[in-house]
Amino acid sequence: MTFQSAMTTSIHNSRLRLLNALRSNAKPVMTFLGLPLFRMAQIVAQTGVDGIIIDCEHGHISDDAMHSATAAIAALGVSPLVRIRMTHGDLIKRALDAGAHGIVVPQVNTAEEARAVVSDAKFPPQGRRGQGSAFPAIAHGIDIPTYMKTANETLITCLQIETKTGVDNIDEICAVPGVDMIFIGPNDLALSLLGYVPARGDEPEFVEAIERIVAAGRTHKKWISRLSNDGASCKEHLKVFDTVAMSYDIRAIKNWYTAELRAARS
C-alpha cells in the first residue's frame, strides 16, 4: 500500500515545528525529557529546541505526566514526540491521543514490526487507529474534523534501530510505507554489537552498522536521526543526519551542577 505520509504530504500546519523544519532541511534539534514535571516541560520547550521526545521508555514518565508534558510543549510552539515503551498498539494510541506530533518506537527489529507500528499509528484505511480523543486537535492547533483528515499525513512515525537484528533488516524496515524517520540508539546498538557501552565510536562493526542504517534511510528517502551527547557532537552529527536529539534533561541538570561545583571548589 502506498499513501501520503509526513515525508510526502503537501499539507502545512505552522504548529508542527519539527515536521516543518525537517521538510525544509533546516536540521532541527530535539532533546529528551525524562522527568515527569509540567514545569520542566515548559522550561525545556523555551530553550530553542524544535522537538522534545517525552521518554516513556526509560524516563520517569507516567501516562498522566505524558499528557501534561505533551500539552505544555505544544502550547509553546515546540513539537512533542513520545517515545513509548514498546511496539504496542495501546501505547501508540495513548501517545497520539494525547496530542503528540509523532511517536518514537524503540527496539524495532523487523519489517513486520514496522508495518504493525504504522498500522497502529494511522487511521483507516491506512491503519487501525481508533478515534475518540479531543486532545490531539488542541495540540495541533486545529479542529477535530481537520485533525482527522490530516493526521495520517502529518504525524511523524519514527522507529529506533538499536540491535544487530535491526541493522541486519534495516533495508526491509526502511522500505515500509509510512515509516518517516529512523532513529539510531547508539548505546543499545553498542551493547548489541560490541557487548559494552559507550562505544568509542571507531569500532569497525559499530561504524559499519551506522553507515548501513544511514545508507538504507537515504535509499528509501527516510529521515535519519540519532542521539548526540552535547552541542559539539550535535554539530558534527548534523553534517550527516537530518535531526538529532541533544542530550537529556536529567543529564543536563546533573552535568551543570557537577561542572559548577567543580568550579566553586577549585
**What does the block give as the cell for 149?**
483528515
Would you say 18 and 28 are in contact if contact means Cβ atoms under 8 Å apart?
yes
CA 172 – CA 157 distance, rounded (Å): 16
Tell me the one-letter amino acid at 259: A
Helices (H), the chain: 17-23, 38-45, 63-75, 89-98, 111-121, 135-140, 144-154, 164-168, 170-174, 186-194, 204-219, 231-237, 249-265
For residue 69, which phi and psi values (nearest 5 degrees)? -65, -40
Instruction: Collect all residues with Cβ–Cβ distance below 8 Å to 30 and sequence separation of at least 6.
Output: 18, 49, 50, 51, 52, 53, 81, 225, 243, 244, 245, 246
Q: One of 58, 60, 67, 220 is an active-site residue; which one?
A: 58
CA angle (15, 21, 23) in 5-degree steps: 105
3-class DSSP assignment, residue 43? helix
Concerning whether 58 is annotated as a catalytic residue, the answer is yes
C-alpha distances (whole Å) from 172 to each of 22, 68, 211, 242, 256 are 23, 36, 16, 20, 42
Give the distance between the most distant pair of CA atoms in the chain. 63
Q: Which residues of 82-102 are buried (b: 16+ CB within 10 A; e: fewer)?
A: bbbeebebebbbbbbbbbbbb
Give the catalytic positions in this structure. 58
